[in-house]
Amino acid sequence: MATLGNPLASVPIPSNPAILTANNDQRSNPSTVPVLIDKCASKKHLKQLHAHMLRTGLFFDPPSATKLFTACALSSASSLDYACKVFDQIPKPNLYSWNTLIRAFASSPKPIQGILVFIQMLHESQRFPNSYTFPFVIKAATEVSSLLVGQAIHGMVMKASFGSDLFISNSLIHFYSSSGDLDSAYLVFSKIVEKDIVSWNSMISGFVQGGFPEEALQLFQRMKMENARPNRVTMVGVLSACAKKIDLEFGRWACDYIERNGIDINLILSNAMLDMYVKCGSLEDARGLFDKMEVKDIVSWTTMIDGYAKVGDYDAARRVFDVMPREEITAWNALISSYQQNGKPKEALAIFRELQLNKNSKPNEVTLASTLAACAQLGAIDLGGWIHMYIKKQGIKLNVHLTTSLIDMYSKCGHLEKALEVFYSVERRDVFVWSATIAGLAMHGHGRAAIDLFSKMQEAKVKPNAVTFTNLLCACSHSGLVDEGRLFFNQMKPVYGVVPGSKHYACMVDILGRAGYLEEAVELIEKMPIIPSASVWGALLGACRIYGNVELAEMACSRLLETDSNNHGAYVLLSNIYAKAGKWDCVSRLRQHMKVSGLEKEPGCSSIEVNGIIHEFLVGDNSHPLSTEIYSKLDEIVARLKSTGYVSNESHLLQFVEEEYMKEHALNLHSEKLAIAYGLIRMEPSQPIRIVKNLRVCGDCHSVAKLISKLYNRDILLRDRYRFHHFSGGNCSCMDYWASSLSKKEASYLNGISVFNCDAKQMYGIYAPLLVMKSHPAFEAQVLTDLETAVSGNQKITSLPEKAVHVKFQLQKECTFGEQFFLVGEDPMIGLWDPSNAIPLDWSEGHTWSVELDVRIDLTMQYKFILKRSTGEIVWQPGPDRIFKTWESNSSVVIAEDWENAGAQKIMEEQAIDTPDLEPAGAGNVSLQGGEVISDFNKDLMLSGHIACAEDKSNGKYEVVDGIAYPAEGHIINADIKLESEESLGSRKEVPVPADKNNCSTPPCKNPVTMEDEETLLTCEQRTVLVPGLSSYTSSL
């Protein structure tokens, strides 16, 4: 910590402050310190008092110094930076002072500092934590969302015999609930002998926030049976559970219970009641309560606007907006956000355009973020780009929220390169910025690049959260990276402290099911520690559609409907499976059941933006002014397709059509084909055609889009419900993995492609982000041949092995400006001795040139380096061809070469990395460590055998003593992390005890737990919890 400098002791004392106007005797009396502190109204006054205490010697009275420090850390005039300086000047801080500093940091924007102060206290002082210390440090662990750190602290609590302390137990319940570990939270709760109201409220809130409203209501009933008296906070949790469960009957009973039991209704509780009525669909009750509320805040107004928007009554929503008190731009933000969040992006953009004409209000960061979200939903890249320019011209600083919104907008509008440009242009990247970029790469099918970015996120010491892993698993799903998906899923809790939720299980089921591992997917569902959600069964149902497993599909659909009886998507998907299997009677019965139940299939809709205007098309749409030209263009397209031998795939026809000639016609009426035809008519040939569809693109439309991209030489970017498809030159970025049924063998083949870091751009010549490594034409030709063979199913793939070793080629050689070194050899992956296909080397300081490749094992490689001069001249490396044979190894191999001396070749194996590998070795994810020389060129040309590496089970960042982790000596913990969180724990007061002559403090006495601040413990789901990154130390815990 920083130490207060000596100049402060000589600061002159102004005559102005009333706090220093007493006579000298009074001012030097320790008993006057509390009075003087109470009169300090600012940081300036505290500094003046500090200087006065140094002059008069009062600062060297331990109780007086402690009181000054407490004021600096916790008062309204507090300053943590200054408090740390005061703390550093106290010769021997007592335990109360340590607790105060931990408490202050736990409630600050940098709560991780509280954990570090706690560790410092354990090491530097003779003080052992007491029952007041642990709640503060547990709060800090809660704020940084580190499950592993909290578990370590819990272990210390048990070893210190504080496991029965009520206040600590309540803190642990809140911590585990906030971390998503409800099992541990309930275990702590169940062991409390005499539960207080905070215990019950914490557990009820934990169930609600964890997505278990039924359990929350059951616990409330049990609470009443045990004669615990609910308060306002309890009822906020109960009403939130009713809102989540959509249980209007229980919600009305809860409102009646509040009135009958005289529970004081404040604004937070009123808003919770209002929110319950709105989410349960009772707008009449909501309006009645709203009109009775004497005090309303922005939450009250926006809840009503959101309620009307949800049911489609936009006139009523607008009327509420018109009478809403205009707090500058807040009212506009409420309306735009409400439309956008309720699936009405066009209306949201209309409100934004209306706002632009209003002279009294100006868009702010919240306005722009909501509008960018609406642009992302529509694929309105022109307006989104205009907003980006507006941000630049207005000099608006890109905060985390705006940065995330821009990345999301560009990604969903098909401009991934621009999204990456925004990502790299900002200095501050929190977990949400990283996660949004990973999501963008995922939806565009660049799974390997997403994994690479995740590795860079780890290097930047940003801790991933639940959203990060959802996006990462989606990336694995979209790219067929089954092994990587398994690895990340299995590492979530033990390595990163993120408890897998329903979305993560759904992603994992999708990864396994899409690759054909249906039995493993079912087994995973059966072993889930939580009740499978509709999304989990939906993922399995989608896999059944791919592989035509009707029996399993019927089971999955049945279980899905048990979870969500109103899910029309389940009926539609099962109907499609029946249709694909030719079971038209089942299709008819299912659709009749939907009709009787009042469930309607969501109609397919595709939109395209032309000159800033969004044009929407439905199936067989004739409403567009240019319908005649569109259908004429569609006829032209079909004619050209047939001339190339195209035959429509009638297996994708999901309704019974008796006449054969009508089957093809029905497929040609799909909305995405109409949108593409309109794009060909109205857009310049150089412009990519960007389509957004609300449903999944069908296989026939996917095939047609590929052919159109080739016949018309146009780039087509089609975003469906799940991902982007980039069509160019007759191929798609998904390599047909997402649009067709691939066998396990073919899925493994795609994994084999990823080993060589090839992506769709190099294989098929279409757009790809900048993060992906390069491949070469000779290898591409072989891969394409193998892929065609695999899809046809004629023979087994043998060209790509399952295992590879990571090899780094290094060359030490100087050259002049404009010159470049390349690697070339006899293997197809390094150019077949063709200099035009050689692999370029990257330059680094010290004139070291290098390139990293994943090479299959047991391969003997002959190669050389070549120098390409700026004139185009090629200079070959002198001497014999270099030879190297690979072997199976978990470590990376480094080959260090000299340009002239072949005998100076050094082959080294890097030491094994002590942290778990997140992916197979690839460019940029392995740092070179000091390696053992395995072989010299002139001693052992052909390498073989297993090279053993010494295991190092300690990563050097911390050491464990009695089950508690401490930082290793000499390691600096980087904890400069900004957090945003408004949640704070209820507090009990710790009284500082005067020290004795030897400056040893006696244990403080406990005061009874007060309930005055309890309402700050829980909220009604109205606050966003931002999960920060952790330092390497805390991640290691």
Among 220-234, 246-260, 658-672, name the one with the lowest average pLDDT.
658-672
User: 202: pLDDT confidence band, cut at 50, 70 and 90?
Assistant: very high
CB count in 10 Å sphere of residue 1013:
12
448, containing H or E segment: helix 447-459
Among 44-53, 163-172, 762-771, name the one with the lowest average pLDDT.
762-771
pLDDT exceeds 90 at position 468: yes
Q: Residue 235's pLDDT is what?
A: 96
pLDDT exceeds 80 at position 1029: no
pLDDT exceeds 50 at position 113: yes
Q: What angle do CA 239, 243, 246 make, to 5 degrees?
A: 130
Report the pLDDT averaged over residues 287-312. Answer: 89
- List C-alpha distances in Å: 590 to 566, 568, 657, 731: 14, 11, 17, 36
pLDDT exceeds 90 at position 251: yes
Report the pLDDT averaged over residues 356-373. Answer: 88
Q: Which residues contact 957 (CB under 8 A, 6 or more apart)?
A: 967, 968, 971, 1032, 1033, 1036
User: 110: pLDDT confidence band, cut at 50, 70 and 90?
Assistant: confident
Q: Residue 892's pLDDT is what?
A: 83
pLDDT exceeds 80 at position 24: no
Q: Residue 173's pLDDT is what?
A: 95
Helix or strand or coil: residue 722?
coil
Q: Residue 83's pLDDT is what?
A: 81
Most confident of the following: 60-64, 169-173, 497-501, 1020-1024: 169-173
Most confident of the following: 695-704, 744-753, 962-971: 695-704
Higher pLDDT, 207 or 602: 207
Please give the single-letter amino acid code of residue 408: D
Helix or strand or coil: residue 1018?
coil
Q: Which residues contact 117 (CB under 8 A, 6 or more apart)?
A: 98, 101, 102, 105
Half-sphere exposure of 505 (CA within 13 A, CB side): 22
- List C-alpha distances in Å: 626 to 254, 621, 632, 678: 56, 11, 10, 8
Q: Residue 583's pLDDT is what?
A: 79
CB 893 within 8 A of CB 886: yes
Half-sphere exposure of 413 (CA within 13 A, CB side): 27
Q: Residue 327's pLDDT is what?
A: 63
Q: Residue 978's pLDDT is what?
A: 32
Among 264-268, 563-567, 972-976, name the one with the lowest average pLDDT.
972-976
**How distant is the alpha carbon of residue 237 from its chain centre?**
26
Q: Residue 252's pLDDT is what?
A: 94
- Distance in angstroms (rounded) separating the CA atoms of residues 884 and 869: 27
pTM higher than 0.85 for the full model?
no
Instruction: Copy the structure tokens of residue 440.
Output: 């963008």
Report the pLDDT averaged over residues 769-786. Answer: 34
Higher pLDDT, 823 or 964: 823
pLDDT exceeds 70 at position 983: no
User: 7: pLDDT confidence band, cut at 50, 70 and 90?
Assistant: very low
Higher pLDDT, 794 or 539: 539
How buried is residue 652: exposed, middle or buried, by Cβ count under 10 Å (0-12/13-18/19+)?
A: middle
| Spatial CA neighbour of 83 closest among 125, 131, 42, 43 | 43
Report the pLDDT averaged over residues 885-890. Answer: 80
Higher pLDDT, 54 or 423: 423
CB 400 within 8 A of CB 430: yes
Helix or strand or coil: residue 689?
strand
Report the pLDDT averaged over residues 57-65. Answer: 74
- Distance in angstroms (rounded) separating the CA atoms of residues 764 and 771: 17
CB 239 within 8 A of CB 988: no
Higher pLDDT, 80 or 291: 291
CB count in 10 Å sphere of residue 4:
17
pLDDT exceeds 50 at position 986: no
User: 921: pLDDT confidence band, cut at 50, 70 and 90?
Assistant: very low
Strand pairing of 964-967 and 958-961?
antiparallel
Report the pLDDT averaged over residues 232-260. Answer: 94
Instruction: Copy the structure tokens of residue 360.
Output: 């009294």
Strand pairing of 716-719 and 689-693?
parallel
Among 86-95, 428-437, 526-535, name the one with the lowest average pLDDT.
86-95
Q: Residue 998's pLDDT is what?
A: 41
Report the pLDDT averaged over residues 765-794. Answer: 34
Q: Residue 475's pLDDT is what?
A: 92
Please give the single-letter amino acid code of residue 1006: K
DSSP state of 333: H
Phi, psi of 324 (to 5 degrees): -70, 135
pLDDT in tens, 681-721: 999 988 889 888 888 787 778 888 888 888 899 999 888 87
Q: Which residues contact 19 (CB under 8 A, 6 or more apart)?
A: 36, 39, 40, 45, 48, 49
User: 27: pLDDT confidence band, cut at 50, 70 and 90?
Assistant: low
Instruction: Copy the structure tokens of residue 258.
Output: 């509040």
- Distance in angstroms (rounded) separating the CA atoms of residues 581 and 590: 14
Mean pLDDT of the chain: 75
Q: Residue 666's pLDDT is what?
A: 62
Higher pLDDT, 642 or 743: 642
Helix or strand or coil: residue 334?
helix
pLDDT exceeds 50 at position 17: no
Give strand ranges (E) for 912-956.
Answer: 932-936
User: 857: pLDDT confidence band, cut at 50, 70 and 90?
Assistant: confident
> What does the chain come to in residues?
1037
pLDDT exceeds 90 at position 618: no
- Distance in angstroms (rounded) separating the CA atoms of residues 658 and 655: 10
| Spatial CA neighbour of 648 closest among 707, 729, 572 | 707
- List C-alpha distances in Å: 161 to 57, 184, 195, 341, 990: 40, 18, 18, 49, 19
Q: Hey, CA dihedral for 289, 294, 299, 304, is it positive or negative?
A: positive
- Distance in angstroms (rounded) separating the CA atoms of residues 824 and 832: 7
Higher pLDDT, 936 or 877: 877
Q: Residue 208's pLDDT is what?
A: 93
CB count in 10 Å sphere of residue 190:
9
DSSP state of 837: G
Q: Residue 900's pLDDT is what?
A: 86
| Spatial CA neighbour of 129 closest among 108, 103, 157, 109 | 157
Report the pLDDT averaged over residues 165-175. Answer: 94
pLDDT exceeds 80 at position 287: yes
Report the pLDDT averaged over residues 185-199. Answer: 93
Report the pLDDT averaged over residues 662-679. Answer: 75
Helix or strand or coil: residue 46?
helix
pLDDT exceeds 50 at position 437: yes
Q: Residue 30's pLDDT is what?
A: 64
Report the pLDDT averaged over residues 342-347. Answer: 85
pLDDT exceeds 90 at position 521: yes
Report the pLDDT averaged over residues 101-129. Answer: 85
CB count in 10 Å sphere of residue 905:
18
CB count in 10 Å sphere of residue 623:
8
Among 413-427, 623-637, 753-767, 838-852, name the one with the lowest average pLDDT.
753-767
Torsion of CA 677, 679, 680, 684, to 10 degrees: 180
Q: Hey, CA dihedral for 936, 937, 941, 943, is it positive or negative?
A: positive
Q: Residue 69's pLDDT is what?
A: 78
Report the pLDDT averaged over residues 872-887. Answer: 83
36, containing H or E segment: helix 33-38
Q: Residue 726's pLDDT is what?
A: 84
Instruction: Copy the structure tokens of residue 199.
Output: 């215990």
Q: Residue 411's pLDDT is what?
A: 92
Among 165-169, 415-419, 880-884, 961-965, name the one with the lowest average pLDDT.
961-965
CB 513 within 8 A of CB 543: yes
H/E/C letters for each residue in 348-378?
A: HHHHHHHHHCCCCCCCCHHHHHHHHHHHHHH
Higher pLDDT, 735 or 613: 613
pLDDT in tens, 498-520: 889 999 999 999 999 988 899 99
Q: Residue 77's pLDDT is what?
A: 62
User: 911: pLDDT confidence band, cut at 50, 70 and 90?
Assistant: low
Most confident of the following: 148-162, 163-177, 800-814: 163-177
Q: Residue 22's pLDDT is what?
A: 43
Higher pLDDT, 1033 or 588: 588
Report the pLDDT averaged over residues 215-219. Answer: 94
Q: Hey, CA dihedral for 194, 200, 202, 208, is it positive or negative?
A: positive
Most confident of the following: 480-484, 730-734, 888-892: 480-484
Q: Residue 954's pLDDT is what?
A: 38
- Distance in angstroms (rounded) separating the CA atoms of residues 867 and 583: 65
Instruction: Copy the structure tokens of residue 859.
Output: 């391969």
pLDDT exceeds 50 at position 588: yes
pLDDT exceeds 90 at position 169: yes
DSSP state of 1016: G
User: 176: pLDDT confidence band, cut at 50, 70 and 90?
Assistant: very high
- What domains are defined for the chain? 1-91 (no CATH), 523-601 (1.25.40), 605-792 (no CATH), 804-936 (2.60.40.10)
**Which residues lie across from 616 on neighbouring strands?**
607
